[in-house]
Structure 1
């Protein structure tokens, strides 16, 4: 019996040594990449957007202990979208955890002017371009597709690098001819009119039917075109 107890004790010591030897150690580069990948895979992006993730330097005074289990990471649900404290946990029996500050920058594509543009200028590929901007610096409804914007006019003077928005462009401009499309599920009627207001994409404006003289309300859905849903 005594020999059996000694054998069991030796076995337990051996297993403890083996398990300790299989614990994974982490350097700071590993943790930086681990946190960066976790944030990139768990923060939602706007359409065609990108993330710029900046992981703060880990205090050099902190000792990074080995861990038998795979590390886990957690992003607080109530984070503000730009600055988060990512929680790193070693879920061993003798667990440990770290909180690492991370700055998240959401970058989205926007159309901007390539040069100074005067009021009333037609927009095209020669005077606009797509760049990526920090979403926190964007105000209003921005436009991102040059194919949709080409042919719209500026409603004010714009400096070089100005963002193209609904507020500074008109897809249908006051006093200009406009195509009117009245449609339902079963039919579609086309006519012509004169715009009584400036209108950007998605806005409701007044249009005077050229033939009947009647003033109607239509939604701008393309350059010099409004739609009336019957």
Structure 2
């Protein structure tokens, strides 16, 4: 009976030892999953940006040693490049580290031309849409709200698939007949004018008053409408 108890105790202790060993053993699949989770936390998807992460497989010849403390990860280059190298480290008394390559593809929702738009064409749902584009292909400040450009005219030719920028269109273009709203705290009046320059919302443009022939510099309020404060 005594030997039976000793055998059971020995077997139990051996089982515990084996469980701990298994718990601290790491393999390539775990390291790859750990790296992907780290990148997902560092580059989270948002309403405006989508992130796609792919991690290369670890070389099967690399032997991953156990680590009794939590692993750490970082990107030595500290950038937002598409291709990154991730360093996975175990900072025990005898430390070790491995490197994995990964691809982080970030796309952002921007307005693009769904067909070639000629100079002077109006922008609407027939030729523009919101689409996700790789951020490395986006240059400058691109637009995300179709309401801002709806009904505006193209200032130049916009190729199919190109992102729409403020330089691509004008709410009021040179030569357009516009309504001038002159307002104060007590009253407002409307009159006609001709745009002598082009502009977008809240931008100042030169307008010639059709009645008085004077040139004023009101701000663009909306399509074919400008406002000046008296």
1:151, CA displacement in angstroms? 0.3
- Kept in 2: contact 1:19–1:68 (CA 8 A): no
Tell me the alpha carbon deviations over residues 91-115 of structure 1, each in whole angstroms, 9 at most, x when there is no partner: 3333221122223222111222222
1:219, CA displacement in angstroms? 4.5
Match of residue 39 from structure 1:
39
- Kept in 1: contact 2:75–2:85 (CA 8 A): yes
2-side partners of 1:174 and 1:106: how far apart?
A: 38
Distance 1:118 1:229, change over 3 A: same
Counterpart secondary structure, 2:157 = coil
2-side partners of 1:75 and 1:203: how far apart?
A: 43
Q: Which stretch shows the higher mean deviation, 214-223 or 53-62? A: 214-223
Normalising by structure 2, we get a TM-score of 0.75
Q: In the TM superposition, what are the counterparts of 1:74-85 in structure 2 within 5 Å?
A: 74-76=74-76, 78-85=78-85
Counterpart secondary structure, 2:217 = strand
Normalising by structure 1, we get a TM-score of 0.75
Tell me the alpha carbon deviations over residues 36-64 of structure 1, each in whole angstroms, 9 at most, x when there is no partner: 22222223778701222232332222112
Distance 1:49 1:64, change over 3 A: same
- Kept in 2: contact 1:177–1:224 (CA 8 A): yes
Tell me the alpha carbon deviations over residues 59-78 of structure 1, each in whole angstroms, 9 at most, x when there is no partner: 22211222222221123364
2-side partners of 1:167 and 1:200: how far apart?
A: 9
Q: Over aligned residues, Cα RMSD in angstroms?
A: 3.4
1:124, CA displacement in angstroms? 0.9
2-side partners of 1:114 and 1:41: how far apart?
A: 33
1-side partners of 2:22 and 2:134: how far apart?
A: 44
Tell me the alpha carbon deviations over residues 94-145 of structure 1, each in whole angstroms, 9 at most, x when there is no partner: 3221122223222111222222332211111122122111111122332222
Distance 1:45 1:76, change over 3 A: farther
- Kept in 2: contact 1:20–1:68 (CA 8 A): no
